[in-house]
Amino acid sequence: MWAVLKVNNNGLITLKNEIFSKIGKETIFYNPKIKINKFIKSKTYTMDSYLLGDYILCYNKNFKNRHFLTAIKYCKGLKYLLTNFLNCQKDIENFIKKCKENEDDQGYIKQNFFEFESKKNYEFISGPFNNLILNIIDQNKIFVKGFIGKYKISVSKKGNFFRPV
């Protein structure tokens, strides 16, 4: 069973170690990440960012048993355990499958993971247009066409990440 955990800032390693000690080494953690290029003062910095923010997916076959859930509920590094994850197992598994299909050889999620809808607004989270809003009018496998303000642009999907606004 997959559980969804919200982790404290910088508490991921502590949380993993505590869960391993309480319920065993057969626990699996999954936290998809993306590589973001930030432009600051004409320099490019490459940063890792987690797709789910401060949430992490945790698998253990014994999570059906309330005893195991109670054991991890008070672990160091855990803000809280999301409830009702038992009802969403199929959705969680489909999400993980989609993430794994769209990972590159280094384990980072590729841009083609994200689906775009025309006539919607998206914010750049990497690339030279970082933090600008793009109104998509057309797209293909390689490029996205749209407007930033009154300027029409065509941007490669490869080096730029977007999120819906």
Report the 3 state secondary structure along the chain: CEEEEEECCCCHHHHHHHHHHHHCCCCEEECCEEEEEEEECCEEEEEEEECCCCEEEEECHHHHCHHHHHHHHCCCCEEEECCCHHHHHHHHHHHHHHHHHCECCCCEECHHHCCCCCCCEEEECCCCCCCCEEEEEEECCCEEEEEECCEEEEEECCCCCEEEC
Sign of torsion over alpha carbons 21, 83, 86, 94 = negative
With left for phi above 0 and alpha for psi between -120 and 50, is residue 91 left, alpha or beta? alpha
Return the pLDDT at 97.
93
Q: How far is CA 106 from CA 35, 76, 98, in A?
A: 10, 29, 16
Q: Residue 31's pLDDT is what?
A: 92
DSSP 130: T
pLDDT of residue 93: 93
Residue 118 has pLDDT above 80, yes or no: no
What is the pLDDT at residue 11?
Answer: 81
CA distance 37 to 44: 6
Is the pTM of the predicted complex or chain greater than 0.85? Answer: no
Rg over alpha carbons for the chain, rounded to the nearest Å, is 19
d(CA 110, CA 35): 9
Summary mean pLDDT of the chain: 84
- H or E segment and range at residue 13: helix 12-23
Q: What is the pLDDT of residue 58?
A: 92
**One-letter amino acid of 67:** H
Give 110 or 2, the one with higher predicted confidence.
2
